[in-house]
Amino acid sequence: MLIDKKEKQICDEYLNTGYVIQDIDDKKSLDWIKNFYCKLIKKTIPSIKKNSSDDILNYVHKYLNVSKLNKFRLKLINEINENQTFRKNFYKISKPLLDIVAGNELAMQKKISLSIQFPKDDSSLLPVHADTWTGVSPFETVIWLPLVDCYRTKSMFILPSSKSNKLSKIFSKKNIKNSKDIYDKIKKDLVWLKVKYGQIVIFDHSLPHGNVINKENETRWSMNCRFKGLFTPYKDKRIGEYYEPITIKPATRRGINYKFPK
């Protein structure tokens, strides 16, 4: 493989563990995204206008009832996905890792997802799962971008690649009733990602992952978006419906439009 030492290190880490955590180079784009959220939040919840950005994100649960959380989250999701600058900045932040792990001709999920998890809230749980179990292409990779420091139960868990062979043994016994059964059997092997604001995660969604009730005193804010090589298999989530091409190179454009002379 004709890659430099840093690229090889990232490739090896992704293959050996299933995820990579890196510092973000483009801090300007990251701060733009955070400020975009803070402006929306201040507009939606006027009572927190005087708070700092960090307080707004980490302690929004003090100003918003959990019964209104999902409506609030959906409003923000609509706002961020209607803004092309937001989408471009998300990709710019992700690009250094994506170029190494997934390639530079990519399709991007049409909608960026947002997770807001209040402390002690059981309405925002994502039980252990692997996206490939529900017909998603194994050629995809996920960018997970926190807007606050994430640690312990304020973060997400993942089963590392080195432990994934355990799943075959679990499923072969055919006595799994639900996701809790799976979680209980792999719990001691799970890794809780410790990711600071200013860092980014890329992970293989074919590995079991999820979250639990946030037992910390702060709210978790994180975004996720799937990317894949433009010409890799799509399975149930197809280009044009779930994905859109974002980095088609000139040689590819010419190749697609090429016609043999008559």
Q: What is the pLDDT of residues 54-97, one digit of tens each?
A: 689 999 999 999 999 999 999 999 999 999 999 999 999 999 99
State the distance between the two ends of the chain, measured CA to CA, in whole angstroms.
40
Structure confidence at residue 124 (pLDDT)? 84
User: Would you say 143 and 94 are in contact if contact means Cβ atoms under 8 Å apart?
Assistant: yes
State pLDDT tens for residues 180-196: 888 888 899 999 999 99
Structure confidence at residue 251 (pLDDT)? 93
- 152, 157, 161, 164: CA torsion to nearest 10: 120
DSSP state of 233: -
* Residue 90 to residues 36, 66, 72, 129, 209, Cα–Cα distance (Å): 12, 27, 21, 25, 22
User: Would you say 93 and 49 are in contact if contact means Cβ atoms under 8 Å apart?
Assistant: no
Structure confidence at residue 123 (pLDDT)? 87
Structure confidence at residue 179 (pLDDT)? 80
pLDDT grade for 1, boundaries at 50, 70 and 90: low
For 74, the 3-state DSSP assignment is helix
Structure confidence at residue 36 (pLDDT)? 96
Higher pLDDT, 236 or 116: 116
Rounded to whole angstroms, how far apart are CA atoms 92 and 105?
A: 14
* Residue 4 to residues 22, 24, 163, 172, Cα–Cα distance (Å): 17, 19, 28, 41
Q: Where are the alpha helices (DSSP H) in 18-49?
A: 27-44
Asked whether the predicted pLDDT for residue 104 surpasses 80, the reply is yes
Asked whether the predicted pLDDT for residue 152 surpasses 80, the reply is yes
User: Would you say 217 and 158 are in contact if contact means Cβ atoms under 8 Å apart?
Assistant: no
Structure confidence at residue 50 (pLDDT)? 64
Q: What is the CA radius of gyration of the chain?
A: 20
Comparing 80-84, 143-147, 150-154, 232-236, which segment has the lowest mean pLDDT? 232-236
Q: Where are the alpha helices (DSSP H) in 59-149?
A: 69-81, 84-101
Residue spans per domain, the chain: 5-250
What fold is seen in the domain 5-250?
Jelly Rolls (2.60.120)
State pLDDT tens for residues 194-247: 999 999 999 999 999 999 999 999 999 999 999 999 999 888 888 888 999 999
DSSP state of 218: S
- 22, 120, 80, 23: CA torsion to nearest 10: -10
State pLDDT tens for residues 8-66: 999 999 999 999 999 999 999 999 999 999 999 989 988 886 666 668 999 999 999 99
- Would you tell me how many other CB atoms lie within 10 Å of the CB of residue 66? 15
User: Would you say 200 and 24 are in contact if contact means Cβ atoms under 8 Å apart?
Assistant: yes
User: Would you say 9 and 188 are in contact if contact means Cβ atoms under 8 Å apart?
Assistant: no
User: Would you say 161 and 204 are in contact if contact means Cβ atoms under 8 Å apart?
Assistant: yes
Structure confidence at residue 173 (pLDDT)? 67
State pLDDT tens for residues 160-187: 998 887 777 776 666 777 788 888 888 9
